[in-house]
Amino acid sequence: MSLPQECEMQQPWLAIALGNSRLHWARFESGAIAARGHSPHFKGSETRESLEQRPWWPEVRSGLPLVVASVVPQQLRRLARYLPETSPMYRLTTDSLPLQGLYPGLGLDRGLAGLGAGERWGFPVLVIDGGTALTLTGFDEERVLVGGAIAPGVALQCRALCKGTALPQQPNLLIDGALPPRWASDTGQAIRSGILYTLLAGVQGFIQQWRRRFPDSAVVFTGGDGAMLASGLSQIAPELGADWCVDPDAMFWGMALIWMQKKTVQT
């Protein structure tokens, strides 16, 4: 799916989202995402050679417009330091968001994902972002923030459990797309069961309560673990109907909408 038709004649541009644990990028052409990927965070010791190994860096050197959203100030400062002087950069902030009722300190990534998901799938919308943090963010039909919740994400829970105990790391919580046994008979399965079923039960409760308030609302899963959470939820709670969307690019679509509006105003 691409952006509305009025965006299709825009020149190519690059979206960079500096997240909590890594960098996400997408190249837009004619209103659609032509390429996307992830990169490690910038190090303080980056060199020209190390930057050139990033697949999106040649786009920056070519002078492609760069739209940046960051939740890590240090990473934003490093990006600005490494950028060539000829590279135009447009930085997004929460003030850029055409949404209502935002509270001070709301994560820019949550707002952008809410905007992108709502524009693509409709408001009201509940966005479930399975990233480093698991966030749930709801907007009503007038684009007003209803509220949300933040919890440690899947991988962060795994790392915290293993760091704080002698338990082993479990890299794959879903094996071949299937949930582990709820009542596990070995340590690895018990870790998978404990993390996944408690997380999914919490998400299930939020969706049920949200739909009592907004029965016709879109529910959108995004983030690196979004598809896994949606798959697991459909297995433990088929009564929910699984009529939700998995959109890993929700935040990028939010960035694109703001960039489109900015370019429309300029022209």
Active site residue 109: yes
Distance between CA atoms of 109 and 112, rounded to whole angstroms? Answer: 5
Contact 183, 195 (CB under 8 A): no
Helices (H), the chain: 48-52, 57-61, 73-82, 108-121, 154-164, 187-213, 226-236, 250-266
Going from the C-alpha of 80 to that of each of 22, 176, 225, 245, the distances in angstroms are 16, 41, 29, 35
Going from the C-alpha of 89 to that of each of 68, 82, 86, 98, the distances in angstroms are 7, 12, 9, 20
114 is in an annotated binding site: no
- What length does the chain have? 267
20 is in an annotated binding site: yes
Closest CA to 86 of 61, 109, 121, 53: 61
185 is in an annotated binding site: no
176 is in an annotated binding site: no
23 is in an annotated binding site: yes
187 is in an annotated binding site: yes
197 is in an annotated binding site: no
18 is in an annotated binding site: yes
Closest CA to 141 of 103, 194, 101: 101
Tokens coding 190: 């018990």
Q: Phi/psi at 219 (nearest 5 deg)?
A: -125, 120
Cβ-based neighbours of 60, under 8 Å, separated by 6 or more: 14, 66, 83, 84, 87
108 is in an annotated binding site: yes
The phi-psi region of residue 177 (left if phi > 0; otherwise alpha if psi is between -120 and 50; otherwise beta) is left
225 is in an annotated binding site: no
22 is in an annotated binding site: yes
Catalytic residue among 109, 225, 247, 249: 109
- Active-site positions read 109
Binding-site residues sit at 17-24, 103, 107-110, 129, 132, 187
Binding-site residues for ATP sit at 17-24, 132
Binding-site residues for substrate sit at 103, 107-110, 187
Binding-site residues for K(+) sit at 129
